[in-house]
Amino acid sequence: MGAVTYPDKKVAEFVMQGMVPLQVLADKPLAEEFKVKWTPTIVVLDCSGKEHHRTVGFFPPEEFIPNLLLGMGKVRFDADQFGDAIQHFDKLLAEYPQSGAAPEAIYLAGVSRYKSTHDAKPLKEAYEKLKAGYPQSEWTMRAQPYSLL
Amino acid sequence: MISWESEMTKALERGEREKKPILLDFFNPG
């Protein structure tokens, strides 16, 4: 990450504009607190220090930004800030539709819209979008029951 | 260039002040 992804200009701008970057050696007590067993481990926290998203292993720049957008969306999702969460998921899907993070973003965007409106239609739409664009994704499997709505 | 914080307390203070989530990277310099 330090050789390829973090020096990338687009990654650096994204991180500096939207997040507070904190880098810690994996042998420090904080790593034990977060049960880190391998590096790189990247965790997205809210400003109280609560974990909302985690990845292990290398991400190139074009996958790292959508992964962070997913994490930022999940921070809002977990705080019931569904409008803000949808903005992050939709940005991910508009700018990085081929990202590995895209299927989870479709799923969570559908759930966020459902929780905002209590209309089940977005859940079914999320499943249909997943089935059409990402048929092998585990998120398509997870959304399969929504096909019956 | 990313300007990293190295202390959790300071990062959380900044996160609160700037209304931003924290990107926490555990790394091993090898």
Contact A12 B1 (CB under 8 A): yes
Q: How confident is the model at residue A7 (pLDDT cuts 50, 70, 90)?
A: very high
Q: Which residues of A touch B11 (CB under 8 A)?
A: 20-22
Contact A46 B15 (CB under 8 A): yes
Amino acid code (one letter) for B22: I
What's the pLDDT tens digit per position in B8-28? 999 999 999 999 999 999 998
Contact B26 A45 (CB under 8 A): no
The per-residue pLDDT for A28 is 83
Asked whether the beta carbons of A110 and A118 are under 8 A apart, the reply is: no
The per-residue pLDDT for B14 is 97
ipTM: 0.96
What's the pLDDT tens digit per position in A56-101? 999 999 999 999 999 999 999 999 999 999 999 999 999 999 999 9
The per-residue pLDDT for A49 is 97
Cα separation, A89 vs B21, in Å, equals: 15
Cα separation, A62 vs A48, in Å, equals: 28
Contact A40 B29 (CB under 8 A): no
The per-residue pLDDT for A76 is 98
What's the pLDDT tens digit per position in A18-48? 999 999 998 889 999 999 999 999 999 999 9
What's the pLDDT tens digit per position in A96-145? 999 999 999 999 999 999 999 999 999 999 999 999 999 999 999 999 99
Whether chain A has a CB inside 8 Å of the CB on B16: the answer is yes
The per-residue pLDDT for A24 is 95
Residue A142 neighbours by CB distance under 10 Å: 14
In this structure, what token pair is assigned to residue A18? 């939207």
- Tell me which residue in A1, A39, A44 faces B21 most closely, judged by beta carbons: A44
The per-residue pLDDT for A2 is 85
Q: How confident is the model at residue A1 (pLDDT cuts 50, 70, 90)?
A: confident
- pLDDT at residue B30 tops 80: no
